[in-house]
Structures are given as C-alpha cells and as structure tokens.
Structure 1
Amino acid sequence: MPLRAKVASSVSRTAAALSRAAGRGDGSVIGGWIGLKIDPELLAHLAAGRAIALVSGTNGKTTTTRLTAAAVGVLGPVATNSFGANMPTGHTSALAKAGSTPYAVLEVDEHYLPQVLEATEPHVVALLNLSRDQLDRAKEVAMMAQLWRAALVRHPAIRIVANADDPMVVWAVTPPSAEPRRADAPPVTWFSAGQRWHDDSWVCPECGGSIERVDDQWWCTGCPLRRPEPHWVVEDEGVLDPTGAWHKVVLQLPGRVNIGNAATALAVAATFGVRPTDAVSRLGGVASVAGRYAQVSKDGRNIRLLLAKNPASWLEAFDMADDAPTLLSINARDPDGLDTSWLFDVDFAPLRGRQVLITGDRAYDLAVRLEVNEVPFQHVRTFAEAVAGVPPGRLEVIANYTAFQDIRAELNRVL
C-alpha cells in the first residue's frame, strides 16, 4: 500500500484498540472513521489483493455473513466485520484489524452497496432480500431495488448469488432491456430459502402489474418477470446443491430461516471453490452472532435473545421462538428509526396463549398494537422485573436494536 494508506491503517487499528480498552465498544466504527479521514481511499487499498464476498439485504445480513465467513474459512484466514458494523467505516476497520488475509466476507448495509462495490471490486455479492425498514429515513423498497440494479449494471463481471424467492431481488439482478447482461458475465447463482413476508412485493417493480403466487412459485401478471429456477434449495433440514446432492445442515442457531442463511453461505463459498461437504460442518460452529440467539442462564431462567427490527424480521422471530413466556422490547432511538408505525404491519397473533411481557422506551406503542391484536400482556419497567415475573425455565426475549443492547447491558455479560 502507499505510505499514506499504511499510516492510516496503523492509526485505524490503534484507535479501535483504544476504544475497546476504554470500554467504548469494539472500535469497529471509530477506527475506520479515523482511517478514512487520513486516507479517503483506504478501503480500496485494504481490499486490493483479497478475494471478497459482500452480503447485503434488509434482514439476515449479519448471520449470513458469519456463516459465510465460516464456510470460506475452509480455504484460509478470512477478514470479516463480525459485529455488524456494515458501512464503509466498519469495513475499513475490519480489514485493517485483520491484516493481510487472502479472503474477506463483509456485511454491507443495503444503502451503501453501490459505494462498497466501487471500493472493493468483490469476487461475489450475495443479495438476500428487500423489505420495509426504518420508515423515517430508509428508501422505499422499489427505490432500493432500483439503486441495486443501477449499481450491478456498472459491474457486469461480479458474480451474483441472489434470492429467487424475492421479486424485488430478482428484478434488481435483472438488467434493464436497454442494457442486457453481457455475454461474458458470470451467470447468476440463485438460491431458494423461502420468503414468508410478501407484503412488500405484491406489485411488480418492472411494469406495476400484480405478483401472483402459488406454492413456491411467483410471477408477474403483466410482464415476463417471474421466479427463476434456483440452484440451491432448502429441503427439510438440509440444502440441495446444484448437482442434486443433499447436505444435512446442523446449526446451533434456531429457525428455518437460518437454514436458508446457511444455504446462501454454501452458495457463496462455492463461488470460491469450496465444496459443500467441506463447508457444511463449519456452519455448526456458529453459536451466537453479535449476541443474537445467545442463551444465558439467570435466576433459574434460560434466556434467549432474538433481534427483530422490522415487520419481516419479527415474523421470523416468532417462528424461531419457543412457546414460552416472551418479553418484547421496543425503543425508537436513532439506530432503531424514530417511526414505530411499522408495528401495525406485524401480526402478533402467534403470541396468543403464552405469557407476554412488554418493556422499552416505546412500550406503550407496543401495548396499543397488542390490544388491537387481542394479545394479553403485562407491562414491566425493567428487564429484572421481567425475569422475576416469569416462572423458571425458558424466557424468550425479542427486541429491536437499542432495546436489544439495553438488555445485554442489564445482563452484565459480553455475549
């Protein structure tokens, strides 16, 4: 690297280490921020010479990134932003901290994907899904798909691993008719992990026609856009690869959605030449992802933490949670988004019949939504009060970003 980049990288690592030593976080943001101030091209310099995978989407990015890094790790050391700092500052910090590694797997905020594509020139990009998120500041879903589409047209040589079940992703990957995909461009690798949340993809982004669905198939009623045939498919408790071979997936992470994330990881790793038989055993070593899915024993309760930030992820959280007492916590601070109206897009009916407790800065917003959904609940002011209010055994905790971090802090444990 140029001398300026070497200095910037060294300062980035030092700043991140000081942040960790001072207990101010893991340093993922401050280290990269300072490094980029010294050398605005630092991310590009750090990315040069590495085979990089980018993972982006509204939901599942952090978990899929961890699983992909584990799978690609069959080949050698992998740099990754494992704590979820998914903007260029976090990418810069992760690569600087890792030093010289042949591979990197980076989670990318969906808004920043075009910028990170330009800086890193990745080997492959995995596109998971698109749905509404942080309504007060995030782009409308079709606008995000258009942003991705325009960026991918500018990078025709990049390999793409994409979700065949999400019409918005399929459209984003499909070049406009005026700019057809180049003949020498790598073919898209499609995976099918299912899509339980459909409410952001009833209207075709190409022509405005309606999207029809029957079983696992979907198609537009007004134009040729339709579900492509997937190469990687979740089947039962495993994954079918493009050869038709089935691989059992044994994870420590709950829910069918994480088998889908595992399928994505195997598909991405395969673009690096990793055989599924070599990668699949690595996936079972991932037990917690930045505290998500972590299980903690406290006062006779087995507490499991689940992060849910928008309607689609709450639907998946309900699927992952056991039929047990459940604490819901909602904040609306800056990282969460200030608009909580999305709560009315979530169907809380699956919680009927279990003990439900609510807390957080916006617990009353949640209370109104549960009243409308006819789900009985108890309001508690602290996490300790919630633990004391349930019998010994399992306690499921579902919270959005800052509420999740508040609860981790109350547990007084690094997960």
Structure 2
Amino acid sequence: MSDLPLRSQLAVALGRTASRMSRLAGRGDGSVIGGKIGLKLDPELLTRLSADRKLVLVSATNGKTTTTRLIASAMSGLGEVATNAFGANMPTGHVSALAAAPGAQYGVLECDEKYVPLVLRETRANVVLLMNLSRDQMDRAGEIWQLAGKWRKALDGAETHVVANCDDPLVTWGASTAKKVTWVAVGQHWKEDSWCCPECGGPLDRDGSHWACRQCHFARPKPDWILHGDRVTAPGGHTYALDLQLPGRANRSNGAMALAVVSLFGIPAEQALPLLGKVASVAGRYTTVSYQGRDIRLLLAKNPAGWLEAFDVLEPAPGPVVLSINAQGPDGRDTSWLWDVDYRVLKGRPVWATGERRLDLATRLEAAEVDFRMVDDIEQAVLAVPPGKLDVIANYTAFQDIRTRYGRAL
C-alpha cells in the first residue's frame, strides 16, 4: 500500500472510513460507498490496487457469488486472498475488496456481466471465469446476446486465461476469441435462451451434451474438465468425488468450475476439494435460521434460471415454501420474467406469496394452477407454518429484507 501515490493512499483511507461508518450505521457492509469515494478521488485506483497481484474475475448470470467464495476458499492455502465476499460486483466493490487486503498477492473478484470488459481492462486479470448467460434484468442489463458480444470483443487477443462453460452456447461464443481457453462441461440446465446460434442466427441442434449449429461451423468445443453427477474428471483423466455442503446440481457445477480455475494456480484437486467442502453458505444463501420452532432456509432466485435451480434444492413435497418478489432497482423493475418460470412444480405444497410485487406473483401462480395464500408480510406466512422446516425463495432485495429480519448469518 505504501507504494501507492499519496493521492491513492488518501483515497483508500477515506474509502475505508466511509465503509466503516456505513457498517456502524447499519447501512450494509460499506463496499459500495467506500469504493465510490475512492474512485472519485482517484479514478485510476482500481488499476493501481490491481498491480502486481494475481487476479481471477468470476462472471455469470447465476452462481458467481457462490463460485467466487468457492475459489477463494480453495486458494486460501496460497496465502491471503482479496475478495468481494458480499457480492458488490462492480468496480466500486472491487476497489473496496482490494483496498481491504493490501498485502494479498491473490484476488478473486465477482464481476457483473456487463462490467467484464471494463474491469478486465483496468485489472488485467490473469484468469476470467465465464459460467452461464441467461435473461436477467433486461430493463437494466439489455439483451444477453449483447453481453456475450461484449465479452467476445474484450477477450479478443487478451493475454488472460479464460475458463468457460462449453455447455452454454452463448458463453462459448463469448469466450472463443480468447487466446487461451480451458473448457469445462458442467451442463446447461436452463436452455430457453440458447436455441439459436449466436454466430449466424441459425438453429442449434442438440444431441445429449453435444450441440452444433445447423447452418455454420459453430459447435461445442471438446471439454478439458467434465462434470458427471457428483464426480469431476480432470484433464489427465483422473476422476474425483465432489463432496460439497452446498446443495443441488448448480453448486456441483460451481464446484467443478472452481476446480478448473484453481488448477491454473498449481492447486491440485486433492488439495482444493476439502476446502470446497468447508463452504456451507454464501452471503446468506442456503443459511438455515431458527425462529420460533421453524427452521427457515433462505434461497436466492433472481431470474428464471435461478428459480429452476432453487426448485432443485427444495425439501421434498409436501414441504412448505414461501415466495417473495420485489422489483426495486437491484432486482430490475420488470417482473414479466415470472411468466418464464414453470411454477407447476410447486403443486401439492403449501405455498405463500409475499413481497412488494406479490400481486404479480399471485397472478402467475394462479395461471399455473398452484394453490397458494397471499400475505402482506412474510411473518404471517412463517407463523402459519407448523414448527419444522420452511424454504423461502426470494429475489435480491426481498432476500436481503428477509435475511435482515431473521438473522444475517453467513
């Protein structure tokens, strides 16, 4: 830190003070405000703080916070790792994360999809992990084909090593201009955004895990790492059991991607796997909070693909579930994506609908012929459930509201 110019040192100090005050005031962890002040005082602060570090950028529509945590855990044996553990995934959050760990030689930074080109240019990250792309906050982020195109342009000729999910055609297209790519086959559970070829617009044919365009050369590349069930096969052919505390197929995918990334830093799977297995929750996701005899498990789902993965880890039917939807800025104002989610899987369960946009949710559930009760406040739903297990699925700000009310355990 002492190698920084005086202006940068002042920017870091004032940013830290703002972050600390924000935490004391109960306004969050302070990552955004601290980074915002730092960049205001020194617009080149992210570049300066990134110098002489080995950095990983993690980007995807779903799973980037969890995978960032998994990678940081697996890399902890190398020494201190700077990371934005609470999901502040824009340059302001990156500045705060790096400033908070001035002696860390390594950094693992979650990065919002549309900020990948900017952050890659500013940090010259050693590794970029690209996991999936699907519709999300289209009123704010735009079409996902545009995002894939920006990735493709940013990576063209870049020296960074890309690790990418070859089962997602949009991710493959975005990553394929990079000089060095490690392809990982972890599946694509949500396919509704990739039926057409991003290269020419023609139809994609799928045969099992393989996909190819019917009209041009674009096709699934040969994977270096392969996830099959709860086992991962590495490039040398050795297969490892993936034993995670985090539930569901999505987290097995996240774990396999994490293994591929840390291998580039010389960390063997045998060393990384026990560290991945120690991660039990991530920024409140999958946390179980006890409240008046109820064990409330919090699940985050922000878009159709995320809801599909949340349904995958629900307690077996007829376990009760509460659904909560807001439409604030961080969520995206447009809730029309609710119609892309197949809620019929919830039939036969006690279901409650709440949140600021509960009427939108109720309309969708009614159309899916799912029996439910709409309540003004989640407390009404919690107290209506008999003592025992209760799953709560919420989008971003609704999730944070619920997490604040019932406990912010990590």
- The one-letter code matched in structure 2 to 1:212 is D
2:90 and 2:169 map into 1 onto residues whose CA distance is 25
Residue number among 267, 283, 302 corresponding to 1:309 in the alignment: 302
Contact 2:352 2:381 in 1 (8 A): yes
User: Can you list the C-alpha shifts for 1:60-92, whole angstroms capped at 9, x where unaligned?
Assistant: 110000001111112111000000000000000
- The one-letter code matched in structure 1 to 2:73 is A
1:296 and 1:249 map into 2 onto residues whose CA distance is 26
1:286 and 1:402 map into 2 onto residues whose CA distance is 23
Which residue is equivalent to 2:372?
A: 377
SS of the aligned residue for 1:74 comes to helix
Single out whichever of 40-49 and 8-17 deviates more from structure 2.
8-17
SS of the aligned residue for 1:137 comes to helix
Over aligned residues, Cα RMSD in angstroms?
1.1
How much does 1:6 deviate? 1.5
SS of the aligned residue for 1:368 comes to helix
> 5+ unaligned residues in a row in structure 2: which ranges?
none
1:217 and 1:355 map into 2 onto residues whose CA distance is 39
Contact 1:383 1:410 in 2 (8 A): no
Which residue is equivalent to 1:121?
A: 124
Q: How does 1:314-325 map to 2 (within 5 A)?
A: 314-323=307-316, 324-325=319-320
Give yes or no for the alignment of 1:196 onto 2:223.
Answer: no
1:81 and 1:395 map into 2 onto residues whose CA distance is 29
Q: How does 1:231-380 map to 2 (within 5 A)?
A: 231-323=224-316, 324-380=319-375
How much does 1:270 deviate? 0.6
Give yes or no for the alignment of 1:55 onto 2:66.
Answer: no
Which residue is equivalent to 1:145?
A: 148
Give yes or no for the alignment of 1:89 onto 2:84.
Answer: no
How much does 1:374 deviate? 1.0
Which residue is equivalent to 2:391?
A: 396
Contact 1:359 1:380 in 2 (8 A): yes
Which residue is equivalent to 1:178?
A: none
Residues 1:60 and 1:413: Cα distance change in structure 2 (over 3 Å): closer
1:129 and 1:235 map into 2 onto residues whose CA distance is 18
1:63 and 1:381 map into 2 onto residues whose CA distance is 31
Contact 1:51 1:104 in 2 (8 A): yes
2:98 and 2:283 map into 1 onto residues whose CA distance is 18
TM-score by length of 2: 0.97
User: Can you list the C-alpha shifts for 1:299-355, whole angstroms capped at 9, x where unaligned?
Assistant: 111111000000110111101111210000001111111100000011111111111
Single out whichever of 6-15 and 216-225 deviates more from structure 2.
6-15
Residue number among 40, 61, 80 corresponding to 1:77 in the alignment: 80
How much does 1:236 deviate? 2.5
How much does 1:238 deviate? 2.4
1:247 and 1:77 map into 2 onto residues whose CA distance is 26
Residues 1:279 and 1:205: Cα distance change in structure 2 (over 3 Å): same
Residue number among 403, 406, 409 corresponding to 2:401 in the alignment: 406
Contact 1:58 1:130 in 2 (8 A): yes
How much does 1:154 deviate? 4.6
Give yes or no for the alignment of 1:166 onto 2:168.
Answer: yes
- The one-letter code matched in structure 2 to 1:273 is G
Give yes or no for the alignment of 1:35 onto 2:38.
Answer: yes
1:310 and 1:51 map into 2 onto residues whose CA distance is 32
How much does 1:413 deviate? 4.2
- The one-letter code matched in structure 1 to 2:369 is E
1:346 and 1:232 map into 2 onto residues whose CA distance is 30
Identity of aligned residues (%): 57
How much does 1:414 deviate? 4.4
Contact 2:314 2:391 in 1 (8 A): yes
Which stretches of structure 1, 4 residues or longer, exceed 3 Å deviation after superposition?
Answer: 412-415
How much does 1:195 deviate? 0.7
TM-score by length of 1: 0.96
Residues 1:277 and 1:207: Cα distance change in structure 2 (over 3 Å): same
Contact 2:284 2:408 in 1 (8 A): no
How much does 1:412 deviate? 4.4
Single out whichever of 223-232 and 302-311 deviates more from structure 2.
223-232
- The one-letter code matched in structure 2 to 1:168 is L
1:282 and 1:236 map into 2 onto residues whose CA distance is 20
> 5+ unaligned residues in a row in structure 1: which ranges?
176-180
1:351 and 1:217 map into 2 onto residues whose CA distance is 31
Which residue is equivalent to 2:29?
A: 26
User: Can you list the C-alpha shifts for 1:196-242, whole angstroms capped at 9, x where unaligned?
Assistant: 11111001111110011121111111111111111111123221111
Contact 2:287 2:409 in 1 (8 A): no
Residue number among 108, 111, 116 corresponding to 2:111 in the alignment: 108
Contact 2:57 2:127 in 1 (8 A): yes
1:413 and 1:383 map into 2 onto residues whose CA distance is 16
SS of the aligned residue for 2:139 comes to coil
Contact 1:359 1:381 in 2 (8 A): yes
How much does 1:405 deviate? 1.0
- The one-letter code matched in structure 2 to 1:394 is K
